[in-house]
Copies of this chain bind each other. A is one copy, B any other.
Amino acid sequence: MKAEIITIGTELLLGQIVDTNSQWIAERLAEMGIDLYYKTTVGDNVGRLKEVLEQSVERADLVITTGGLGPTQDDITREVVAEALNRDLIKNEAALEEIKSYFSETGRQMTENNITQSFLPKGSQIISNDNGTAPGFLIDSEEIILASVPGVPLEMKAMISDFIIPYLQEEHKLDKEVIQSRVIKTCGIGESSLEDKIDDILREQTNPTIAPLASQGEVKIRLTAKANSEEQAQQLIAAKEEELKKRIGDYIYGYDDDTLEGVVANLLWEQELTVATAESCTGGLIGDRLTKVPGSSRYFERGVISYSNQAKMDLLGVTAETLEEYGAVSAETAQEMACGIRDRAGVDIGLATTGIAGPGGGTEEKPVGLVYLALATDDGVEVHKKIFKGHRRRVKYLTSQIILNLLRKSLF
């Protein structure tokens, strides 16, 4: 099966946004063993979009378009797909119902131009949109399989994962060579140290390929295997993964879509432990991450964002003496914060952060990026000192990453 992607939107041609959609779709197609031959970006222009569509329909078996499904005048995808395929654009009652119920459920006002979103090329199957107003659609004919989804990444991804991929797999029995990947996620080690540890494995890579990729506060390793079946590809990956685990197992916190907070949540859940946070420099970020996970009320009891010294004393029992003698950014304060929140919340584990996120507030003795992290448990309290480089948001994020990783390691 030969595929093409068409991304639609003048903002893409003006360079106002980076097209990450087509990369994501390309990856999904590769995983299914579908060959992607071309990606084309075209603006909100009827004539040019029509030409591009006609050419793709001519060349390919499968065309996926993104963008141009909104309610505004420059959203032309529905209309031009209909033209390019010589189909009428007709009101799709199911689509209209979906749009109506989206508005009634969210208590928002539906306007006249939302109705235009229910006009789809004749013969379209509607692709539901749980995250917005624009329904997608799929046409499966002798001539072409064509699917149009919105440009909003969240909406696009849900439609491809939940509808288009299952549809293609079921209706068009895909076989042949498959590509499978697995991402190993590590925390607590830098990219070059990690590469050093697996240098020979990296040099000898063939199938699967092994690609380390550093991102904020973690290093991912992508294993990609080609084989005649999904099972075979997974076996190739599993074998290489075992080899890697022997070298860097301590740093691995998860795989693929795992998040550090999700992994921590599962560990807390399994061990029936509760946690509370006392955040200064992170400002609520750790609480936010711990509560991103559904069901977080089972392990997260409370948090305190003790930004001022007064709050540290009122809510955590940090003493005025400690603050005066060592300062708010100190190992002593971090320790009292972690113990204070643990005691007062009556939880198993107390976490605390205090530091200088910058860009202001640094001194020679206590530079910007200096952070103390503390973890209080039944066994006592451990305090770590870190100095992070970079801007404010990075310091906050790295702090949250390190403390979640400390929490993870304490749960083994």
Residues of chain A whose beta carbon lies under 8 Å from any beta carbon of chain B: 10-20, 22-30, 36-43, 45, 48, 52, 70-74, 102, 105-114, 130-133, 152, 154, 179, 181, 190-193, 195-196, 202-203, 209, 211-216, 222, 224, 277, 279, 282-288, 290-292, 294-297, 300-308, 310-311, 314-315, 344-346, 357-360, 386-394, 396
10 shortest interchain CB distances as A-B pairs: A284-B287, A283-B291, A15-B26, A284-B284, A15-B27, A303-B305, A302-B311, A39-B41, A284-B288, A285-B288
**Minimum CB–CB distance for A161 against chain B, Å:** 13
- The reply to whether B27 and A38 contact each other, CB–CB distance below 8 Å, is no
CB of A128, distance to nearest CB on chain B (Å): 12
Whole-angstrom CA separation of A305 from B347 in the bound complex: 14
CA distance A102 to B52 in the complex (A): 41
Question: A48: which B residues are within 8 A, CB to CB?
Answer: 37-38
Q: Can you report 16 residue pairs joining A to B where beta carbons are below 8 Å apart?
A: A12-B26, A16-B181, A18-B19, A39-B41, A72-B202, A283-B296, A284-B286, A292-B393, A292-B396, A297-B307, A300-B305, A301-B311, A302-B305, A302-B311, A303-B307, A305-B305
Cβ-closest chain B residue relative to A21: B18
Q: Which residues of B contact A291 (CB under 8 A)?
A: 282-284, 305, 307, 357, 396
Q: Is the interface of A mostly helix, strand, loop or mixed?
A: mixed
Q: Give Cα distance in the complex from A214 to B133, angstroms.
A: 11
Check A113 against B390 for contact (C-beta < 8 Å): no
Known A106-B387, A130-B389: A192·B113 in contact at CB below 8 Å: yes
- Cβ A30 vs Cβ B15 within 8 A: yes
Given A292-B392, A305-B302, A211 contacting B109 (CB threshold 8 A) = no
A301-B310, A394-B154 known; A14-B36 Cβ under 8 A: yes
Q: Which of A202, A211, A287, A358 has the most CB of B within 10 A?
A: A287
